[in-house]
Amino acid sequence: MRVLDNFSGGKLQNLAPILDDIELITGDIRDMGVVAAAVRGVDVVFHEAAEPSVPRSIADPSATMDINVSGTLNVLTAARDADVRRFVLASTCAIYGDSPESPKRETLAPSPLSPYAISKLTGEQLCAAFTQLYGFEAVALRYFNVFGPRQDPTSAYAAVVPKFLASLMAGVSPIIFGDGEQSRDFVNVNDIVRANLLAAAVPGVAGQVFNIASGTSTTVNHVLHTLQRMTGINVPGQYEPARAGDIRDSLADTTTARERLGFVAETSFEDGVAAIVAEEAVITSVGSAVAA
């Protein structure tokens, strides 16, 4: 297994358990030479690299397009030239925008509200074009709100779960943009991994896009209440005005992923949050022991 990362949003320590089992290349997807070396001789490319921040894409759309569009084109081109069997793109539910239709189906007309969403939609279209023009097997997965252990609360892509948990542990009021009744479809990272493996293996899905989600709706207020209950920390939320580019509600129709990929989310929101809280408790306990 080969990993290409510039660690602009990730941490090398997260790879520590598998460093002896992978070939790690530190580099940027905008560097075609590095990308070509990374994909040479591989069977499947999982393209997860991106500038994931909606606010940053609004502040600096050129940078987001450079990474998410030009970078994706580099990876696609290199993978095609290296005769990679299957290419799996990490896309996003943000391409649906604030469409009132719910749940979101893959056939719904895109209505992106930010440069980030536009860049991801362009990546999907590039995948479809490469399949049609070159017979290259590319599949796009529209992730909904991903959460799981070791998610950096300071990351631009972090779901509200790690952000809220970090605030509670510090005794600080978590910031809620809007009234907190906006809803999200949270999907655990373990389910994301399974979806990627299925997308890499299932025949006859080249050129298609799939919603990858739990198919259930959870409000931001419920996220906070769940974390308060599980941690026993009842610090109230701090409500701020809604942010530009944020969508109000997001819920996926996962029928197509179930029927064509055989994908069904297996980790509930409650179980996923419980695992994160338990891990945080272990980390805190170890930290206290070291300090002592």
Output the DSSP codes for 49-101: -----HHHHHH-HHHHHIIIIIHHHHHHHHHHHTT-SEEEEEEEGGGGTT-S-
Separation CA 47–CA 72 (nearest Å): 8
Question: Which of these CATH numbers, 3.20.20.80, 3.40.50.720, 3.30.465.10, 2.60.40.10, describes 2-291?
Answer: 3.40.50.720
What φ, ψ does residue 177 adopt, rounded to 5°? -90, 120
pLDDT means over runs of 10, the chain (292 residues): 93 92 97 98 97 92 98 98 98 92 96 96 98 98 94 75 94 95 95 98 98 97 97 96 83 98 97 92 47 42
DSSP 151: -
Burial string for 45-57 (b: 16+ CB within 10 Å, else e) reads bbbbbbbbbbebb
Domain ranges, ordered by start, for the chain: 2-291
Residues whose CB is less than 8 angstroms from the CB of residue 252 and which lie 6 or more positions away in sequence, other chains included: 93, 103, 104, 142, 144, 185, 211, 212, 213, 214, 215
The kind and range of the H/E element at 36 are helix 32-39
pLDDT one-digit tens code per residue, 162-186: 999 999 999 999 999 999 999 999 9
- 270-276 contacts: CB < 8 A, separation 24 or more? 270/226, 271/188, 272/147, 272/148, 272/186, 272/188, 273/147, 273/161, 273/223, 273/226, 273/227, 273/230, 274/230, 275/148, 275/149, 276/147, 276/148, 276/149, 276/151, 276/161, 276/162, 276/165
Q: What pLDDT is recorded for position 291? A: 43
User: Residues with catalytic annotation?
Assistant: 116
pLDDT of residue 286: 40
Specify whether the CB–CB gap between 190 and 259 falls below 8 A.
no
Q: Which residues pair with 26 in a beta bridge?
A: 5
pLDDT for the residue numbered 290: 42
DSSP helix/strand/coil, 196: helix
